[in-house]
């Protein structure tokens, strides 16, 4: 989908719309052809592009890391093994610095979160029209919706943050007991006489964890994607704007490498911290 084929407004809206599958108003199941139709599909609709790319990138992560594990040697390591060992050491140091408990799940979870989110974010560095145009050519539908950055979809970011939230709840109850967990929510910070205020403050603090995780990642990646879309519009404005757009695209891509890495690191670090808090008992 080129910027020339649509007005600027339509071009932006097209690139911000997911390929959605769900139950249509006429009673059939299928892909939405408009944003309004996607909205009518409701909660149980599936963003096919988000699901497809996130699963594909997860498989890419598993393939290369399992390949490095199978070919690991005690001699001089190859490039892939050296890179994987460096990443694993980095994650291990991050976990040791932020997690004071003992749980064999935390380090593998942190590694998975960091690499998976980084790969999803890195899709933002591809030219914004390449994969959507390829998908349109393959399907024969020039107006096909096709987003390739899963972390710009709040469904993906909330899905990951809610999974972390359930782990926090599970380990809070497992380590402290149900009574201890409920006691934290109702007896702190003002003691038993401030139960309503305690429950409100601690409840808000608890719910804020998955919300902040999801919205921080989504907001930063959505803003970065929007800037790439606006820069892409410059390529349809003549020679001077095309040259300026090329320079801006290169500069923003270089800066965005820091953004995508930082957002993956922040999500991972906060997950480790939240799980550490779940393992600590307050007396």
Which one is catalytic: 2, 103, 216, 236? Answer: 216
The alpha-helical segments, DSSP class H, found in 41-153 are: 48-70, 79-98, 106-122, 130-139
Number of Cβ within 10 Å of residue 250's Cβ equals 11
DSSP 221-273: HHHHHHHHHHHHHGGGS-HHHHHHHHHHHHHHHHHHHHHHHHHHHHHHHHHHH
Which residue bears the tokens 């080129």? 2
First-to-last alpha carbon distance for the chain, in angstroms, is 60
Yes or no: say if 20 and 38 are a contact pair by the CB < 8 Å rule: yes
Which residue bears the tokens 């963003």? 47
Yes or no: say if 236 and 2 are a contact pair by the CB < 8 Å rule: yes
Query: Residue 2 catalytic?
Result: no
Query: Residue 220 catalytic?
Result: yes
Q: In what order do the strands lie in the sheet with 29-31?
A: 29-31, 20-23, 46-47
Which one is catalytic: 8, 71, 205, 212? Answer: 212
Catalytic site residues?
Answer: 212, 216, 220
């Amino acid at each position: 989908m080129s910027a020339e084929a649509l007005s600027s407004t339509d071009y932006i809206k097209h690139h911000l719309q997911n390929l959605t599958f769900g139950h249509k108003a006429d009673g059939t199941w299928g892909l939405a052809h408009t944003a309004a139709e996607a909205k009518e599909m409701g909660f149980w609709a599936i963003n096919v592009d988000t699901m497809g790319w996130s699963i594909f990138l997860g498989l890419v992560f598993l393939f290369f890391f399992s390949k490095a594990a199978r070919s690991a040697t005690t001699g001089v390591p190859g490039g892939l093994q050296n890179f994987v060992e460096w990443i694993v050491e980095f994650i291990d140091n991050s976990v040791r610095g932020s997690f004071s408990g003992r749980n064999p799940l935390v380090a593998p979870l942190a590694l998975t979160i960091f690499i998976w989110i980084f790969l999803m974010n890195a899709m933002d560095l591809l030219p914004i029209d390449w994969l959507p145009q390829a998908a349109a050519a393959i399907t024969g539908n020039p107006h096909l919706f096709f987003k390739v950055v899963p972390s710009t979809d709040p469904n993906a970011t909330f899905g990951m943050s809610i999974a972390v939230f359930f782990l926090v709840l599970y380990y809070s109850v497992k380590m402290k007991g149900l009574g201890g967990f409920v006691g934290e929510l109702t007896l702190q910070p003002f003691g038993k006489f401030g139960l309503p205020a305690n429950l409100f403050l601690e409840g808000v603090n608890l719910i804020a964890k998955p919300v902040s995780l999801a919205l921080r990642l989504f907001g930063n990646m959505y803003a970065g994607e929007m800037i790439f879309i606006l820069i892409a519009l410059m390529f349809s404005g003549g020679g001077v704007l095309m040259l300026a757009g090329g320079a801006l695209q290169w500069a923003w891509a270089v800066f965005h490498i820091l953004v995508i890495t930082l957002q993956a690191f922040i999500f991972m670090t906060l997950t480790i911290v939240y799980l550490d808090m779940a393992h600590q008992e307050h007396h």
